[in-house]
Amino acid sequence: MSAQPVDPFPEPPRTPDDVAAALPPAQRMEFYREIGTATEETISGVLRRWRLRIRLYQTPDPGERMLREHQDGTRPGLPATAALRTATEARGR
């Protein structure tokens, strides 16, 4: 059995009703308002913009993730104090 890759960004919904269903309730009415006032020329842009927003809503806040990694001690890189100490020592040589 082979492992299947996990797509972090599955294909977003394509129809207006599917887009609305994937949105948080607070955003749904704004979406319907924009779709209702869109013209034949602008409706695809409205759908595309809201499909991108769905990805943002489904993606965890990077700031929250970075804070959690920092608190857990799993954040990659040096702490700022260590980086400053290294830079200060290098300058003093």
Q: Which amino acid is at 74?
A: T
pLDDT at 24: 86
Measured CA to CA in angstroms, residue 79 lies from 39, 61, 70, 88 at distances of 52, 21, 9, 14
Question: Taking the model in full, what pTM does it have?
Answer: 0.55
d(C-alpha 55, C-alpha 43), whole Å: 19
Whether 57 contacts 19, CB under 8 Å: no
**Tokens 């960004």, residue?**
9
Tens place of pLDDT per residue across the chain (93 aa): 555 555 555 677 889 999 999 988 989 999 999 999 999 999 999 999 999 888 877 766 667 777 777 777 777 776 777 778 888 888 886
